[in-house]
Structure 1
Amino acid sequence: MKILPVEPRHIPALSALAAKTFTDTFGHLYPPGDLQTFLRASYAHDVLAAEVAGPDQFWRMAWLGDEAAAYLQACPVGLPHPDADPAREGELKRLYVDTSHHGRGIGKQLLALGLGYLSERYGDAPQWIGVWSENIKAQALYRANGFEKAGEYGFVVGGVTDREFILRKR
């Protein structure tokens, strides 16, 4: 396995992986039309290319041979919490592993890489992550890495609002 910074040439693979992992994880929650609209708005090539090229963005992809297996995005915190300060605190915004590669430790490696980046960039300021309230496995991983629940918010996809937990590591 190799973990590489996301480059413009990786955008098509990132787009496909992002749409697949989101659908595998959450697709059952939404009407098909709402899901497709969300995927186009969030993971289209031009949308991801702009995000990857943005300032203060940290993107990595894990590759197994030529196959994109997982990805990570870290950036200034954007979660809706009154204590979150994007000028001085960071967030692990996205961390997804393709279901066919679960259990190989890829998520843990990306998490460690992302936390290391946030520590370098923001020092000892709090680190943040949002997680679906029913993703118990991810919550356990984050808890094991020092994150604690700091709040909740609604994540909207079309006509559905999911309950999300806001986790913070001090």
Structure 2
Amino acid sequence: MTMTIKKCMLEDLRELQKISVETFTETFKDQNSSEHLNAYLERAYNLEQLEQELANRSSQFFFVYLNQEVAGYLKVNTNEAQSEAMGAGSLEVERIYVKKKFQKHGLGKQLLNKALEIAQEQKKKKIWLGVWEENENAIAFYQKKGFVQTGAHSFYMGDDEQVDLIMTRTLH
């Protein structure tokens, strides 16, 4: 199996939308009403919104490919693009998603390693992310990778307020 990571560009917009909707739906459809899920998908992953995010110099997206098929993606933010004011010394991992059929192949780990590499290149002091408090598999994965819970914030799925744990890893 061949795994590669490639930075997303504006011409990847529709592919980014497709994988964003697919992976988010796969991950959260069983725990949320379709009304709340669809409201979130329409707000977060419409083409105009994704185009703005792709154009933001403080955000970067990457696709991970397995055998030439897009298997997942990563979004990282710095500076004002971070969803919480964590300062210039921080890098946020806003999204790591892998299609269900490609999970358990180490792709999430590779995407997280890519985020760590970017943080180190940019001489960041810490890397952080928000993870839904009920996503036990993801929480366990991040803990195994050296992240600790440092706070929490609200995440809205439609108009349903949920809690994301803020997990942080200090870099050396």
- TM-score, with normalisation over the residues of structure 1? 0.89
What displacement does 1:80 show? 4.0
Q: What amino acid does structure 1 have at the position aligned with 2:140?
A: A
1:45 aligns to what? Answer: 47
What displacement does 1:7 show? 1.5
**In 1, are the aligned partners of 2:14 and 2:47 still within 8 Å (CA)?**
yes
2:92 aligns to what? Answer: 91
Matched, 1:146 2:146: yes
Q: How does 1:78-117 map to 2 (within 5 A)?
A: 78-80=82-84, 84-85=86-87, 87-117=88-118
Whole-angstrom CA distance in 2 between matches of 1:117 and 1:50: 21
**In 2, are the aligned partners of 1:79 and 1:130 still within 8 Å (CA)?**
no
Structure 1 counterpart of 2:8, from 6, 17, 31 = 6
Compute the RMSD of aligned alpha carbons: 1.7
2:137 aligns to what? Answer: 137
Assess, with a 3 A threshold, how the Cα gap between structure 1 residues 152 and 119 changes in structure 2: closer, same or farther. same
- Percent identity over the alignment is 28
1:36 aligns to what? Answer: 38
1:60 aligns to what? Answer: 62
**In 2, are the aligned partners of 1:14 and 1:68 still within 8 Å (CA)?**
no
Q: What amino acid does structure 2 have at the position aligned with 1:28?
A: D
Residues paired across the two proteins, number: 166
What displacement does 1:25 show? 1.1
Q: What amino acid does structure 1 have at the position aligned with 2:108?
A: G
Whole-angstrom CA distance in 2 between matches of 1:99 and 1:51: 25
**In 2, are the aligned partners of 1:71 and 1:95 still within 8 Å (CA)?**
yes
Assess, with a 3 A threshold, how the Cα gap between structure 1 residues 44 and 147 changes in structure 2: closer, same or farther. same
Q: Which consecutive aligned stretches of 4+ in structure 1 deviate over 6 angstroms post-superposition?
A: none
What displacement does 1:34 show? 2.5
Whole-angstrom CA distance in 1 between matches of 2:43 and 2:160: 16
Deviations 1:113-137 (A, max 9, x none): 111101211x251211111112122
Whole-angstrom CA distance in 1 between matches of 2:72 and 2:121: 22
Assess, with a 3 A threshold, how the Cα gap between structure 1 residues 65 and 13 changes in structure 2: closer, same or farther. farther
Q: How does 1:154-169 map to 2 (within 5 A)?
A: 154-169=154-169
SS at match of 1:156: strand
5+ residue gaps, structure 2, are none
